[in-house]
Amino acid sequence: MPILARTRAFAALCSIPLLLGAVPAAMAQEPESDPVVATVNGKEILRSEVLASAASLPPQMRAQAEQLLPVLLERLVDIHLITEAASAEGLETDEEVVERAAEMKKEVMRQVYLERLVDSEVTDEKLQEQYDAFIEANPPEQQVKARHILVEDEAAAKEIIEELDGGADFAELAGERSIGPSGPRGGDLGYFTTGTMVPAFSEAAFALEPGSYTAEPVQTQFGWHVILVEDKRDSPVPSLDEMREQLTEELTRSIFQEKLAELRDGADIEIIQPEE
């Protein structure tokens, strides 16, 4: 890694808190593959400790832990040195340190409590129930795949229909004549449901059979349209795996709300409004 890039990376890493402690199981290594990579005043630093320190980094940086190993090691050496210096000054029993450590302990307790609550409540069975309820509440909708040619007046739209009746290619005409943003794409609008377009346009499109176009121009607030429907289908149904992350977030929020309601219901809470 170039010196400048390494310096910048090191500065970024040092600005992120490091939680020292046990090596996460996922990052632990067998002793024979876990060499000592540094010593600080006689204390050994294992390769696994350096990789474990990446757990406090953003996801995109954690994925590069191996490449960042030299920078992470330098950072960990500095952390050890600062810890030793603080200990040498007797800060382990310092009143401020003890107070902050107590607050950190409370925060860790809250995190562990919520993590264990989620682990116990967010089950495959409940995710399946959430998924089934979503599918029931959101049944597939009919979609059409259409193209259109948008012009400013009815006469121009009728001329286009006459050209189509004569065998002209719809996409080519759209590219040449349409004033709409889809013109350069041959008028392609992709698939859409009934509520996506303005009512007059949607009604005309869904009334057509695939392969047919409007026999009369369709007027909307945007101008005059000639519409070609290429296909009709039901909207795709997302799989459970595709929705797993969304469903997990929704279920987690629901669990938190239920637990907070339960805790509040069993607590003696008095809200004291300050005097104005």
Give, as one character, the DSSP assignment of residue 37.
E
Helix (H) or strand (E) holding 43: strand 43-46
Q: Domains in the chain, start-ordered, CATH in brackets? A: 3-105 (no CATH), 142-234 (3.10.50.40)
Q: Which helix (H) or strand (E) covers residue 113, if one does?
A: helix 95-121
Sign of CA dihedral 164, 168, 173, 177: negative
Contact 80, 40 (CB under 8 A): yes
Residues in the chain: 276
Question: What is d(CA 59, CA 68) in angstroms, rounded to the nearest whole number?
Answer: 13
Per-residue pLDDT of the chain (276 residues; tens, 9 = 90+): 444 444 444 444 444 444 433 334 344 444 458 999 999 999 999 999 999 988 888 888 888 888 889 999 999 999 999 999 999 999 999 999 999 999 999 999 999 999 999 999 999 999 999 999 999 999 999 999 999 999 999 999 999 999 999 999 999 999 999 999 999 999 999 999 999 999 999 999 999 999 999 999 999 999 999 999 999 999 999 999 999 999 999 999 999 999 999 999 999 998 888 876
Residue whose token pair is 């987690």: 252
Q: Which amino acid is at 248?
A: T
Q: Using CB atoms within 10 Å of the CB of residue 225, give its burial: 0 to 12 exposed, 13 to 18 middle, 19+ buried.
A: buried
Long-range contacts from 252-261, C-beta under 8 angstroms, 24+ separation = 252/118, 252/122, 255/117, 255/118, 255/121, 255/122, 256/114, 256/117, 259/117
The C-alpha atoms of residue 162 and residue 26 are separated, in whole angstroms, by: 69
Tell me, what's the pLDDT at 273?
Answer: 83
Residue 275 has a pLDDT of 77
Q: Under DSSP, is residue 148 helix (H, G, I), strand (E, B) or coil?
A: strand
Q: What pLDDT sits at residue 215?
A: 96
